[in-house]
Amino acid sequence: MSTPNKPSKSSTPNKPTQKVAVLGTGKIGEALLSGMIRSGWAPADLLVTARRQERAEELRTRYGVEALTNPGAAERADTLILACKPQDMAALLAELAPHVTTDTLVISAAAGITTAFIEERLADTTPVIRVMPNTPVLVDEGMSVISAGSHATAADLAHAEDIFGAVGKTLRVPETQQDACTALSGSGPAYFYFLVEAMTDAGILLGLPRDKAHDLIVQAAIGAAVMLRDSGEHPVKLRENVTSPAGTTINAIRELENHGVRAALIAALEAARDRSRELASGNNT
Ligand SMILES: NC(=O)C1=CN([C@@H]2O[C@H](COP(=O)(O)OP(=O)(O)OC[C@H]3O[C@@H](n4cnc5c(N)ncnc54)[C@H](O)[C@@H]3O)[C@@H](O)[C@H]2O)C=CC1
Ligand SMILES: O=C(O)[C@@H]1CCC=N1
């Protein structure tokens, strides 16, 4: 969990206390902001930026945080969390570059964007960290995968872990693994929602009311997730325990295999990994 009001990494006169700014506060930025506040960060130590004035107002009212311009936030904060879309990153960095000093830690949460992409647009030796969170940060069950750029120190990594650890687990990986982690973890929740949606449709086909089908599948998902996390058993063993000889489950498994669901998932995650790789190269379509 995070420790608010940690000592400042900078004694620059205009940065008297440790402040974290979220730049581009959309879904992920707001999820992170709300989690930091839930875990004890003082709203006074958090800054936000948003493209639209109404959005800035909404964040100010909802969280009691100060909303600034991007340059204003860069000048006031010790740590900047860039949470805009990858396609908006070059423009945001161009706006920030004159205002970011080399004692400011820059953390990017954008899919695909490499630390090198950011470093080459900011002053030499600016520490940069790449993080891939996921939306369960909203319920403090996120996973944030963290990699250091060329100039980020051990203390910078620990600071990033402190921030993202407030809303779930963190994992350090070499940056070469970030695109794969984005496919598995950043996008991961979407696959489970997709499965729940499809299985709820199956419940409708089998004659159940939608709300009951939804509740049954969601509880099966929660139960399975907790067992995966806490039982210490391999998923194959857990599945075998459900799969009785000549029973119901094996008939379903045969259909999943016949329809190539395993191969479809492997191909799907490979496509997500490939798209993450493309995003840094400026492919915006
Ligand atoms: N949604 C998700 O599940 C995850 C998203 N991400 C990454 O997080 C980033 C944000 O994603 P979302 O929150 O889903 O998108 P979003 O569209 O909800 O939020 C992005 C926000 O950035 C704002 N913005 C863009 N340029 C700006 C600028 N120059 N100044 C101020 N604000 C600016 C937009 O107005 C928008 O509110 C993306 O880079 C994405 O790859 C990472 C992990 C998971
Ligand atoms: O779909 C996306 O590009 C973002 C990054 C990971 C999850 N959502």
Q: What per-residue confidence (pLDDT) applies to 282?
A: 67
Q: What per-residue confidence (pLDDT) applies to 13?
A: 41
If one residue of 182, 192, 284 were mutated to test the ligand 2 pocket, choosing by the most ligand atoms within 8 A of its CB, it would be 182
Q: Which residues of the chain register pLDDT less than 70?
A: 1-17, 282-285
Q: How many alpha carbons lie under 13 Å from residue 267 in its C-beta half-sphere?
A: 5
**Cβ of 24 less than 6 Å from ligand 2:** no
pLDDT digits (tens, 9 = 90+) for 223-234: 999 999 999 999
If one residue of 28, 187, 275, 279 were mutated to test the ligand 2 pocket, choosing by the most ligand atoms within 8 A of its CB, it would be 187
Distance (angstroms) between ligand 1 centre and the Cα of 231 equals 36
Say whether 86 counts as a known binding-site residue: yes
- Dump the DSSP string for 174-211: -GGGHHHHIIIIISHHHHHHHHHHHHHHHHHHTT--HH
Q: State how far the Cα of 121 lies from the Cα of 64, in Å rounded to an integer.
A: 32
Q: What per-residue confidence (pLDDT) applies to 284?
A: 64
* Length of the chain (residues): 285
Interface confidence, given as ipTM, is 0.99
How many angstroms separate the Cα of 150 from the Cα of each of 21, 157, 160?
Answer: 22, 12, 15
If one residue of 84, 95, 118, 129 were mutated to test the ligand 1 pocket, choosing by the most ligand atoms within 8 A of its CB, it would be 84
**CATH code 1.10.3730.10 for 188-279:** yes
DSSP 60: H
Q: What per-residue confidence (pLDDT) applies to 42?
A: 97
> What residue segments make up the domains of the chain, in order of their start?
20-178, 188-279
Q: What per-residue confidence (pLDDT) applies to 281?
A: 79
Residue nearest atom 40 in ligand 1 by C-alpha distance: 110
Q: State how far the Cα of 128 lies from the Cα of 126, in Å rounded to an integer.
A: 6
Say whether 83 counts as a known binding-site residue: yes
Please tell me the CATH code under which domain 20-178 is placed: 3.40.50.720
**Cβ of 18 less than 6 Å from ligand 1:** no
**Cβ of 111 less than 6 Å from ligand 2:** yes
**Cβ of 186 less than 6 Å from ligand 2:** yes
Q: What per-residue confidence (pLDDT) applies to 5?
A: 38
pLDDT digits (tens, 9 = 90+) for 107-117: 999 999 999 99
**Cβ of 185 less than 6 Å from ligand 2:** no
Q: State how far the Cα of 111 lies from the Cα of 273, in Å rounded to an integer.
A: 10
Q: What per-residue confidence (pLDDT) applies to 36?
A: 94
Q: What per-residue confidence (pLDDT) applies to 7?
A: 31
Q: What per-residue confidence (pLDDT) applies to 55?
A: 98
Q: Which bound ligand lies closest to the C-alpha atom of 26?
A: 1
pLDDT digits (tens, 9 = 90+) for 151-180: 999 999 999 999 999 999 999 999 999 999
